[in-house]
A and B are shown apart, each in its own frame.
Chain A
Amino acid sequence: MKVLIPSALRSYTERSETEASGATLGAVLVDLDRQYSGIRFRMVDEQDRIRPHIRIFVNGEQIRDLAQPLRATDEVVIVQALSGG
């Protein structure tokens, strides 16, 4: 599925859009990390919590549960939270 990458993480992907696969949001992030080593830990901590200033939207809806099922046609958008003013 298509995954949109925020500017803060493009040092890993070197592009704003990439492809990843998985049956859940967590699996998609693992697949991203397989392709771009280290990217997952910058978004998800060691207790499998999405970090405070990262937002992930699937088809426009914000998702915080890594177990959320996904379909191959879904679009995942990773966003830097509007924090700090």
Chain B
Amino acid sequence: MAATSRKPAVRKQGPATRGRTSRSLPSRRVLVMAATRKGAWLYHSDAARKTWRSDGPHFLGHIINHLVLDPRDGRTLLAAAKTGHLGPTVFRSTDLGRNWKEAARPPAFAKAAEGEGRAVDHTFWLTPGHADERDVWYAGTSPQGLFRSEDGGVSWEPFSPINDDAQYRKWMGTVQDGTPDGPKLHSIIVDPRDPAHLYFAMSGGGVHESTDRGRTWTPLVKGLEVVEGFDPAEITVHDPHCVRLCPGNPDRLYQQNHCGIYRLDRPSDQWVRVGKAMPKRVGDVGFPMVVHPRDADTAWVFPMDGNTVWPRTSPEGTPAVYATRNGGRTWQRRDAGLPAQQAWWTVKRQAMTADTADPVGLYFGTTSGELWISRDEGQRWACMARHLPEIYAVEAAELA
């Protein structure tokens, strides 16, 4: 698929939310990007986020792990793709998905001696570079690898020493230490104040920070708990599910971990388990972590059942988002509009996000193929698409 050109079928969808009226409305349209196990869909809103135009499927049958819009130009999309039979690649569109072209050199590990080299199974995570580095992108892969493109995603090279560093290879562990879909490098974060200040996380393998543009990295796991019976001093056993930096205060990070919800206020390197304030019957296990675009005291999580054999479904079959407005000291349940019973949902770590409108729009996708929206920061929810394939990732961006 060196180049594709397609005119997607477009259909109107009905009102996505009813009832409560927003305090103020966004002046710009929102693009929601849903990446699924069987292709990708784009949803274009009106200015009120009330009606949505569906554009898709793109890459029907492809496994799309992440689909991201470049905020620096507002029209370039990158899609991390593979199929059941074919190897991984990255597709790029410079016209909001009207045409796609395959990367000339997708993320791939360096060639190694016979029997020693790793191969990228799939690109899992895409992060646009700093605003001042216009064509820079970062990618995280499974198995864990960190890659960088300096030409807008056309060609990718291994980035920094970690891919082949003996210590990091040890911390990455084995396939058995990763997720059921393979060990992953994710949550690549660029400090908006400094392009040389980077974070990433690995499942498994902990959270890591660089202040020298990726030349050296330091584990950032103090205060994080690990599964009972393991030693938290061992980096391999740390399993951060999703880490987010607050745009409103880049010194604050939140993390949804395998073992709880955490907050970190730099320059401290000590994570604080703010999830202990969650209701005991719900717990603080989950996958996604969403932060407010302006208010660093506000964040949202989607709890899942981490008891017994880890069902990874909504506790008691009653899905809910939990919100904090005070940095994690207290959490409020936000389930208005969501099913009241028998909804055994799983929401993956990339499948929940926020737009930047006021009030903030929240979006999440389930592994059962439903896409949900709240136009009022979680107060009320409505389904905006259903019957999609298993949703892997949801991103939202305001369009000019």
Interface residues of A (CB under 8 A from B): 6, 8-9, 11-12, 36-38, 41-49, 51, 53-54, 80-81, 83-84
Given contacts A9-B86, A41-B108, A46-B109, 12 further A-B contacts (CB under 8 A): A11-B4, A37-B104, A38-B1, A38-B89, A45-B108, A46-B110, A46-B111, A47-B111, A47-B118, A49-B119, A51-B85, A80-B85
Q: List 26 A-B contacts (CB under 8 A).
A: A8-B85, A8-B86, A11-B4, A12-B1, A37-B2, A37-B102, A37-B104, A38-B1, A41-B89, A42-B89, A43-B87, A45-B87, A45-B120, A46-B111, A46-B117, A46-B119, A46-B120, A47-B109, A47-B118, A49-B119, A51-B85, A51-B87, A53-B86, A54-B85, A80-B85, A83-B85
Q: Which of B2, B85, B106, B119 contacts A36 (CB 8 A)?
A: B2
Complex Cα gap A66–B87 (Å): 17
B112 at the interface (CB under 8 A from A): yes
* Chain A residue nearest in CB terms to B83: A8
What secondary structure prevails in chain A residues at the interface with B? Answer: loop
Interface of B, secondary structure class, is: loop
- Is there an interface contact between B111 and A12, defined as CB atoms closer than 8 Å? no
Cα–Cα, bound, A49→B117 (Å)? 10
Which bucket holds chain B's interface residue count? Answer: 20 to 34
Q: Which of A45, A46, A48, A83 contacts B84 (CB 8 A)?
A: A83
In the docked arrangement, what's the CA distance between A9 and B80, Å? Answer: 17
Establish whether residues A42 and B86, one from each chain, have CB atoms under 8 Å apart when the complex forms: yes
Contact A11 to B85, CB < 8 A, known contacts A46-B111, A47-B111: no
Q: How far is the CA of A40 from the CA of B15 in the complex (A)?
A: 45
Q: A11-B1, A53-B85 are in contact. Are A41 and B112 (CB under 8 A)?
A: no
Q: How far is it, in angstroms, between the C-alpha of A44 and the C-alpha of B86 when the chains are bound?
A: 9
Across the A-B interface, the 3 shortest Cβ-Cβ residue pairs: A45-B119, A11-B1, A47-B117
- A53 and B86 CA atoms in complex are apart in Å by 7
Given contacts A12-B1, A38-B2, contact A51 B86 (CB under 8 A): yes
Judging by beta carbons under 8 Å apart, are A41 and B106 in contact?
Answer: yes
Q: Which residues on the B side are within 8 Å of A51 (C-beta)? A: 85-87
Chain B positions 79 through 122: 1 when the CB is less than 8 Å from some CB of chain A, otherwise 0: 00001111101000000000000111010111110000111100
Q: Which residues of A contact B108 (CB under 8 A)?
A: 41, 45-46
